[in-house]
Structure 1
């Protein structure tokens, strides 16, 4: 009887400990506008053109003690591109660029998270954009986590990556200074 009780206590402690070591799941806070998918690209080598995608959602899992177990998934509506210029946005939605009629969504799904120390990570994953799926690496940094004023718990990150337009079958030639676009990400999630 004592052996069975000790075994049950040991098993219960092991399960409880395993549950505490598991990553928490977070929903990206799109509703509160605490997440952004922005971009910048050189305009003729003279200045920067900035824009954002207004409509996306996703989720991630994160455990600060074991960041390598983290995962992230994001789905973005390409027609939500906004560069603060209606005619340019119409062109960005056309087959010359995002071809939103044929490819209305872009997705990112992580395959590996590599901690680099000091709260920085390389997030490796597959980006599907304009009908092409390619591996990308996002250089990310943990900003912080904790309770919010509404009784929830949040965690936030920022990151960036550079994409060659031709890698994603965007053939419009914008000149030698504009062959790559930088994605700049800021993500805050609410623990579920």
Structure 2
């Protein structure tokens, strides 16, 4: 049976399979084969979907020693995009992301616990709006292999739900809007 292990990102964020030694990967930002998306309830009546357009990071893993795997991601909070310029301006303000004072968010993994052949809990420290808190990502290995350009790639997705108040975001949109769901997909190129 193929031995699978997990390495997170935000992303958290990651899991991988089948490698016999540690490998380092760069998230494919250039080709944008990665995304950090979110959804949040608007007053309990609908969903607002958005994404962060600018982020970068690396991950590594060792299938023989999954606990040594890691991920580090940096995200430009001003790159938030909900397809509505005025709303994006408000999200960038001190009411929410406060990008003038906290222009980046970061995630650094601290541990990985396999929960299945291709699933894992990835724990790490998320710094958002100047506040650092531990978070847990539910990660899933998507696949890995050679690409058409002579490289080797691995892909993962992960989800988590954040309580906004935990990160100092207390703007009141009602009880249905106190949490935000993150949906992260990453593809890394082996270095």
Query: How many pairs were matched up?
Result: 173
Whether 2:122 is the aligned partner of 1:112: answer: no
In 2, Cα distance between equivalents of 1:141 and 1:63: 16
1:89-114 deviation digits (Å, cap 9, x = unpaired)? 00000000000000000000000011
Whether 2:57 is the aligned partner of 1:58: answer: yes
SS at match of 2:87: helix
Larger gyration radius, structure 1 or structure 2: 1
Q: TM-score, normalised by structure 1?
A: 0.87
Single out whichever of 55-64 and 157-166 deviates more from structure 2.
Answer: 55-64
In 2, Cα distance between equivalents of 1:21 and 1:160: 27
Unaligned 5+ runs, structure 1: 1-19
In the alignment, which residue of structure 2 is the partner of 1:132? 131
In 1, Cα distance between equivalents of 2:33 and 2:65: 24
In 1, Cα distance between equivalents of 2:124 and 2:135: 6
In the alignment, which residue of structure 1 is the partner of 2:98? 99
| CA shift for structure 1 position 176 | 0.9
8 Å CA contact 1:112–1:123 kept in 2: the answer is yes
| CA shift for structure 1 position 21 | 4.0
In 2, Cα distance between equivalents of 1:116 and 1:139: 9
In the alignment, which residue of structure 1 is the partner of 2:31? 32
1:38-81 deviation digits (Å, cap 9, x = unpaired)? 00001111211000000000000023444332100000000000
Single out whichever of 125-134 and 40-49 deviates more from structure 2.
Answer: 40-49
8 Å CA contact 1:68–1:115 kept in 2: the answer is no
Q: Which fold has the larger relative contact order, with Cα–Cα distance below 8 Å and residues 6 or more apart in sequence?
A: 2
8 Å CA contact 2:25–2:190 kept in 1: the answer is yes
Q: What is the Cα-based RMSD across aligned positions, in Å?
A: 1.1
